[in-house]
């Protein structure tokens, strides 16, 4: 990595910039920037993120970050092969949802509708017979009709309450673990998937985002930029400068991380 580090250091000196000024632009700590210039990646939080740091450093110098990373791709491949065994990976199996309660409720609703239909048809048939003079009007006819109406209302109320309950249900999220470098959340989505929005109300922040095990975004987001990701199981968000970031899950905002250094947020079902 010395060749790459020396090149970036030379470009920085040509532009008259200090490591502290590069830190202000990229929000990457100077110890990591110096490690890039020295070719020493042992101080990095994870070697697999070195590529993103190099890209942000290059862009801060006005260089093409993607082109520079591509040029030195062979250097990163060797490091990533060494780093991969050290990365913690956790697979999460999607819980099977029990639909038995749903079908039980549906069965009750169908039976209720059938009962109401039979009662309604019986009254309709009886009234037609009365109009034709084929059946006498009983003295308790009005009372029976009132009771039938009350039964109908009682039968339909459970279904209405169920609909109200379903309409107010929403995705829930709970923090289950936290360290200085990593925060873990468990989410119970209302639907088959959930949406995670990442926005930058602050100045800027570098990100690496994995959705369901695949890297879907790496790069620098500046003020007022935002991205939305559709997630089925899990999302892992590495942030270079967390205080500049706002994250919401199905509209529910997570607490802002105040640590001014690299932090990883993992959200999973």
Q: Is 219:54 a contact under the CB 8 Å cutoff?
A: no
* 74, 135: one domain: no
CA-closest candidate to residue 231, choices 266, 179, 182, 262:
266
In-domain check, residue 94: no
In-domain check, residue 93: no
* 158, 177: one domain: no
Total domains in the chain come to: 3
In-domain check, residue 10: yes
In-domain check, residue 95: no
In-domain check, residue 91: no
Give the number of residues written for the chain.
Answer: 269
Q: Which of 153, 168, 183 is the last residue of a domain?
A: 168
Q: What is the pLDDT of residues 178-237, one digit of tens each?
A: 999 999 999 999 989 999 999 999 888 888 999 999 999 998 889 999 999 999 999 989
Q: What is the pLDDT of residues 48-104, one digit of tens each?
A: 777 888 899 899 999 998 888 888 777 666 554 544 444 444 444 444 455 567 777
What's the pTM value of the predicted model, to 2 decimals? Answer: 0.45
- Structural domain range at position 221: 172-268
Task: State CA 178 to chain mean position distance.
Answer: 18
């Amino acid at each position: 990595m010395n060749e790459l580090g020396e090149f970036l250091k030379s470009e920085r000196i040509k532009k008259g910039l200090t490591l502290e000024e590069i830190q202000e632009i990229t929000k990457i700590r100077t110890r990591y920037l110096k490690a890039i210039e020295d070719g020493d990646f042992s101080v990095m939080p994870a070697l697999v993120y070195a590529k993103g740091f190099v890209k942000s450093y290059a862009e801060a110098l006005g260089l093409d970050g993607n082109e520079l990373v591509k040029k030195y791709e062979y250097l990163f491949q060797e490091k990533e092969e060494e780093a991969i065994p050290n990365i913690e990976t956790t697979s999460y199996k999607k819980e099977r949802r029990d639909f038995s309660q749903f079908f039980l409720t549906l069965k009750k609703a169908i039976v209720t509708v059938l009962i109401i239909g039979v009662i309604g048809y019986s009254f309709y048939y009886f009234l037609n017979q009365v109009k034709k003079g084929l059946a006498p009007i009983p003295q308790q006819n009005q009372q029976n009709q009132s009771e039938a109406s009350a039964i109908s209302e009682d039968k339909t109320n459970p279904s209405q309450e169920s609909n109200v309950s379903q309409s107010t249900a929403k995705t829930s999220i709970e923090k289950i673990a936290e360290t200085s470098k990593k925060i873990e959340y468990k989410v119970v989505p209302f639907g088959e998937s959930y949406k995670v929005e990442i926005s930058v109300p602050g100045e800027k922040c570098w990100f690496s985002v994995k959705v369901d095990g695949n890297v879907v975004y790496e790069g620098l987001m500046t003020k007022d930029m935002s991205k939305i990701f559709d997630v089925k199981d899990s999302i892992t968000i590495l942030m270079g400068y967390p205080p500049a970031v706002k994250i919401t899950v199905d509209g529910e905002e997570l607490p802002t991380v105040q640590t001014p250094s690299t932090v990883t947020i993992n959200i999973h079902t």
